[in-house]
């Protein structure tokens, strides 16, 4: 490999990795907020925090990697213009077309990684996350109820203590439950209990053979003591569980043989990220070109805004395909193919000198 290609390739990779680390940190914070919100609402068990955080981050990689590639390449090229290295490279006869080789050597592995994440890794992460949530909803062990330990229910749902549990995690023994609502305290004990489901998201704790004590919190004496055979206590709603036929959970190979609107929309949504990554990688050199006195980071913001507009158009186009507002044969090709053609055209004409003007006689 020539020294120039080796130098540019190393600079491109370092800039891309630095940008990727920053974007992953920001994305991790946003995903963490969403997952913590689900846990606070009681829809997601706290023990699934790390697993859901990692799986959801994999889902967002097809959107983060193209942006990191574009910004990393543009930052590297902008530095070359700022330090006048690009002027020296052009002075020795190296033009934009000669820079295509190191540019593609740095970009193509990232484009392949985007395609892998979008077509395989992302759907697998969504299926795994949905399966873990479904298992957690049907297991009190994963939900946080452990024998010999006081457990606080989300949203002020009360405090639960159990003395024993069956092997499958569905049955309880010697249950204690304390709740406070509407200015009154409610204490229940039961010799045994069981987790029950109603509908798609409803959960109930069925207590059997126990006592219930209810009274005010303001010091009044109107307490009531009851004995019951069966008492059902509503628990916070579990996380929404997707159907097995949801296109977002199916493998890409399973989507190819179907022609309904939701399937076509999901398939094109998975095909768009690698094409966008390649298009914006080719756009970096034309966008990063600047004259000596021109603002060097203005076009960086222009590229960032162009990427945001393209991603929003992908989301809008996917929704329109799913709702039947766009014909399935059109898909998202109306966005990806013209953008890729524009990137190739701008790259090929970048750095070309205008033809000499004819002087009037």
Q: What is the pLDDT of residues 6-15, one digit of tens each?
A: 888 999 999 9
Q: Is residue 360 part of a domain?
A: no
Shared-domain flag, residues 178 and 51: no
Residue 262 to residue 62: CA distance in whole angstroms: 20
Shared-domain flag, residues 24 and 127: yes
Instruction: Tell me which residue range forms the domain holding 29.
Output: 3-136+243-349
Shared-domain flag, residues 174 and 65: no
Give, in degrees to the nearest 5, the angle at Cα 110 between 5 and 297: 70
Residue 1 has pLDDT above 80, yes or no: no
- pLDDT 10s digits, 187-230: 899 988 887 766 555 667 788 889 988 888 887 778 888 898 88
Domain's final residue, options 186, 216, 235 = 235
Three-state helix/strand/coil letters over 293-358: CCCCCHHHHHHHHHHHHHHHHHHHHHHHHHCCCCCCCCCCHHHHHHHHHHHHHHHHHCCCCCCCCC
Query: What does the pLDDT read at residue 147?
Result: 77
Q: Which of 65-74, 281-290, 305-314, 335-344 has the lowest mean pLDDT?
A: 281-290
Shared-domain flag, residues 179 and 268: no
pLDDT class of 169 with cuts at 50, 70, 90: low
Shared-domain flag, residues 40 and 189: no
For the chain, how long is the longest CA-to-CA vector? 112
User: Is the whole model's pTM more than 0.75, yes or no?
Assistant: no
Q: Is residue 212 part of a domain?
A: yes
Query: What does the pLDDT read at residue 84?
Result: 76
Shared-domain flag, residues 16 and 124: yes
Domain's final residue, options 235, 255, 275 = 235
Other beta carbons within 10 angstroms of residue 325's beta carbon come to 11
């Amino acid at each position: 490999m020539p020294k120039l290609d080796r130098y540019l390739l190393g600079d491109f990779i370092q800039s891309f990795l630095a940008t990727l680390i920053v974007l992953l940190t920001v994305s991790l914070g946003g995903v963490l907020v969403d997952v913590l919100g689900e846990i606070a609402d009681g829809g997601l068990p706290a023990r699934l925090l790390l697993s859901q955080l990692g799986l959801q981050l994999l889902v967002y990689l097809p959107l983060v990697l193209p942006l990191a590639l574009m910004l990393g390449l543009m930052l590297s090229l902008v530095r070359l213009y700022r330090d006048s290295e690009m002027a020296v490279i052009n002075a020795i006869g190296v033009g934009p077309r000669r820079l295509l080789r190191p540019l593609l050597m740095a970009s193509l592995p990232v484009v392949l990684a985007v395609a892998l994440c979008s077509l395989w890794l992302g759907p697998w992460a969504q299926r795994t996350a949905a399966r873990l949530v479904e298992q957690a909803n049907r297991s009190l062990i994963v939900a946080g109820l452990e024998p010999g330990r006081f457990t606080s229910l989300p949203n002020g749902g009360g405090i639960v203590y159990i003395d024993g549990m069956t092997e499958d995690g569905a049955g309880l023994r010697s249950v204690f439950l304390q709740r406070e609502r509407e200015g009154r305290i409610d204490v229940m004990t039961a010799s045994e209990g069981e987790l029950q489901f109603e509908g798609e998201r409803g959960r109930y704790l069925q207590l059997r053979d126990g006592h219930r004590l209810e009274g005010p919190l303001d010091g009044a004496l109107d307490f009531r003591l009851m004995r019951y055979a069966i008492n059902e206590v509503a628990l916070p709603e579990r996380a929404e569980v997707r159907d097995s036929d949801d296109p977002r959970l199916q493998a890409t190979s399973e989507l190819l043989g179907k022609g309904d609107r939701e399937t076509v929309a999901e398939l094109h949504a998975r095909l768009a990220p690698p094409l966008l990554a390649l298009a914006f990688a080719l756009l970096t050199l034309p966008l990063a070109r600047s004259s000596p006195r021109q603002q060097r980071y203005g076009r960086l913001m222009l590229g960032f805004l162009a990427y945001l507009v393209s991603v929003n158009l992908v989301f809008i186009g996917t929704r329109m395909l799913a709702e039947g507002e766009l014909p399935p044969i059109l898909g998202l090709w109306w966005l990806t193919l013209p953008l890729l053609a524009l990137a190739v055209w701008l790259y090929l004409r970048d750095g070309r000198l205008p033809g000499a003007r004819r002087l009037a006689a």
